[in-house]
């Protein structure tokens, strides 16, 4: 068991519980409490997959595009206008409510035979919901960002979201089936391990991969759409899941590796990792041992971590603690630790333009990404540091149950 960084007792207890069933486990430095398996957790199984380990937002991940544009070419007023157009064009929440209507709803994934993994009675409903939500960003910590590269000033576009209601339905449905209940029935969140050589495991694996294709299509659509709004040509693209399971080999053993809020980081493999709405993001690559080095201690750490790294800065405050409790129904909240003034002071000091967002996504509720990366002890190398110019998120009035 490898643990990067420092964590609270509940997070460590969750990891220890998962370790009683997994072949190997690790915890990244951005870890915090999740459903059964901690966010930032990595667990490897023999020919089994953990439904709750992959989580409800199957294939949540990050996508970043580097453009030919440079931040210095744009005035503050132009950036403000870009921010408004992004907010007007990209849809947050449940459906495509904004003016962009060119999402790839005819994508080949909608004709994939993997849809047969879903129950006959619910398949077409979920396919149509998926079409309606393709290219929507959701709420919570999901975002669209415009960055400036700290070294060469190139503008990057970054997005973070997953498979929306499709992924949530797959996770919930197979969790119920794995507990001997009916698809669509509400069941406790507990670890259900499905053997990949069982009919149910085969169906879940196919459905999970379908959700992965769906998330990739949505993120790349949104990232390209924002680059188009800016007038930018794509020079580079970095794309990765961080709520997913992979078939991998480690130390000569074939394993199913589940990463829940953790980014794959094999030597040389790149990933895009966001901070908070008020902090830098980074493009990283897995550490590569120098030629001829055999006993490399960092490579040994990578192996223990199942070649994984952080997916973000990591929460240190719950949404309820940040926003406070509602006293009467949906009335005013009381007792929140973070105010909108605190949030605005942080982002204003850095000159960041924000559209949407709420205090439960304020920089105050996150660790600092620089510290989290340092706690990963050299297992990833920062290739680009990205300074946020524009952050677009769902506003506090957006209701979306499929945000995380």
**What CATH number is given to the structural domain containing 221?**
3.90.1860.10
- The pLDDT score that the predictor gives to residue 403 is 54
| 314 lies in some domain | yes
For residue 404, what pLDDT is reported? Answer: 54
| Model pTM above 0.85 | yes
> What confidence score (pLDDT) does residue 66 get?
98
Q: Which two three-digit tokens encode residue 5? A: 């960084």
Asked if 179 and 32 touch (Cβ cutoff 8 Å), the reply is: no
Output helix, strand, coil percentages for the chain, rounded to the nearest 5: 35, 30, 35
Task: Report how far Cα 71 is from the mean position of its chain's Cα atoms.
Answer: 26
Q: What is the pLDDT of residue 396?
A: 84
Per residue in 36-85, pLDDT (tens digit) is 999 999 999 999 999 999 999 999 999 999 999 999 999 999 999 999 99
User: Is residue 403 in some structural domain?
Assistant: no
pLDDT for 114 equals 98
Which of 182, 157, 174, 164 lies closest to 71, judged by CA?
Answer: 157
Q: Do residues 145 and 276 touch, judged by C-beta distance below 8 A?
A: no
- Decide if 279 is inside a domain: yes
Q: What angle do CA 82, 83, 86 make, to 5 degrees?
A: 85
Task: Let me know if residue 170 belongs to a domain.
Answer: yes
CA distances from 184 to 236, 343, 398 (A): 41, 39, 25
**CA gap 291, 366 in Å, rounded:** 37
CB 47 within 8 A of CB 31: no
* Contact yes or no for 40/30 (Cβ under 8 A): yes
Mean pLDDT by 10 residues, the chain (404 residues): 96 98 98 96 98 97 98 98 96 74 91 98 96 92 97 98 97 97 95 96 98 98 97 98 98 97 98 97 98 94 98 94 72 77 96 95 96 98 98 82 59
> Are the C-beta atoms of residues 159 and 145 closer than 8 Å to each other?
yes
What sections of 114-198 are H helices per DSSP? 120-133, 164-178
Tokens of 69: 């544009």
CB atoms within 10 A of CB 369: 24
Residues 183/203, Cβ–Cβ less than 8 Å: no
**Are 18 and 192 spatial neighbours (Cβ–Cβ below 8 Å)?**
no
Query: Residue 246's domain spans which residues?
Result: 2-393
**Torsion over CA of 77, 79, 83 and 88, rounded to 10 degrees?**
70
Count the domains in the chain.
Answer: 1
Residue 398 lies in a domain: no
Identify the CA nearest to 386 among candidates 149, 90, 86: 149
Instruction: Confirm if 170 and 123 have CB atoms less than 8 A apart.
Output: no
**Is residue 400, in this structure, part of any structural domain at all?**
no
The strand pair at 281-286 and 253-260 is best described as unpaired
Is 401 among the domain residues?
Answer: no
DSSP 107: -
Give the pLDDT of residue 93. Answer: 78
């Amino acid at each position: 068991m490898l643990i990067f960084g420092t964590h609270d007792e509940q997070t460590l207890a969750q990891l220890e519980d998962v370790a009683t069933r997994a072949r190997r486990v690790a915890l990244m430095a951005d870890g915090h409490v999740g459903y059964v398996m901690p966010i930032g957790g990595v667990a490897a199984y023999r020919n089994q997959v953990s439904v709750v380990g992959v989580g409800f937002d199957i294939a949540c991940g990050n996508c970043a595009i580097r453009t030919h544009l440079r931040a210095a070419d744009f005035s503050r007023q132009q950036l403000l206008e870009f921010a408004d157009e992004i907010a007007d064009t990209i849809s947050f929440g449940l459906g495509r409510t904004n003016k962009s209507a060119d999402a790839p709803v005819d994508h080949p994934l909608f004709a994939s035979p993997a849809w047969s993994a879903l129950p006959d009675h619910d398949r077409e409903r979920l396919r149509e919901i998926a079409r309606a939500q393709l290219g929507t960003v959701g709420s919570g910590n999901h975002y669209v960002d415009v960055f400036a590269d700290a070294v060469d000033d190139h503008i990057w576009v970054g997005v973070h979201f997953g498979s929306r209601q499709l992924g949530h339905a797959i996770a919930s449905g197979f969790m119920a089936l794995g507990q001997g209940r009916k698809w669509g029935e509400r069941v406790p969140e507990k670890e259900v391990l499905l053997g990949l050589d069982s009919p149910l495991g085969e169906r879940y694996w196919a459905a999970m991969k379908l959700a992965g294709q769906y998330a990739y299509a949505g993120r790349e659509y949104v990232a390209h759409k924002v680059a188009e709004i800016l007038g930018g040509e794509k020079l580079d693209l970095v794309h990765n899941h961080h709520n997913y399971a992979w078939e991998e080999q480690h130390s000569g053993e074939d394993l199913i590796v589940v990463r829940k809020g953790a980014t794959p980081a094999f030597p040389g493999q790149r990933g895009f990792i966001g901070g908070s709405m008020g902090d830098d993001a980074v493009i990283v690559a897995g550490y590569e041992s120098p030629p001829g080095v055999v006993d490399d201690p960092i490579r040994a750490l990578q192996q223990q971590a199942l070649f994984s790294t952080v997916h973000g800065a990591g929460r240190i405050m719950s949404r309820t603690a940040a926003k406070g409790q509602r006293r009467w129904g949906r009335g005013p909240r009381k007792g929140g630790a973070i105010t909108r003034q605190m949030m605005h002071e942080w982002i204003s000091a850095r000159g960041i333009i924000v559209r949407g967002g709420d205090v439960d996504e304020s920089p105050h509720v996150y660790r600092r990404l620089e510290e989290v990366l340092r706690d990963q002890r050299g297992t990833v190398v920062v290739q680009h540091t990205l300074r946020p110019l524009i952050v677009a998120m769902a506003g506090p009035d957006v209701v979306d149950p499929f945000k995380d």
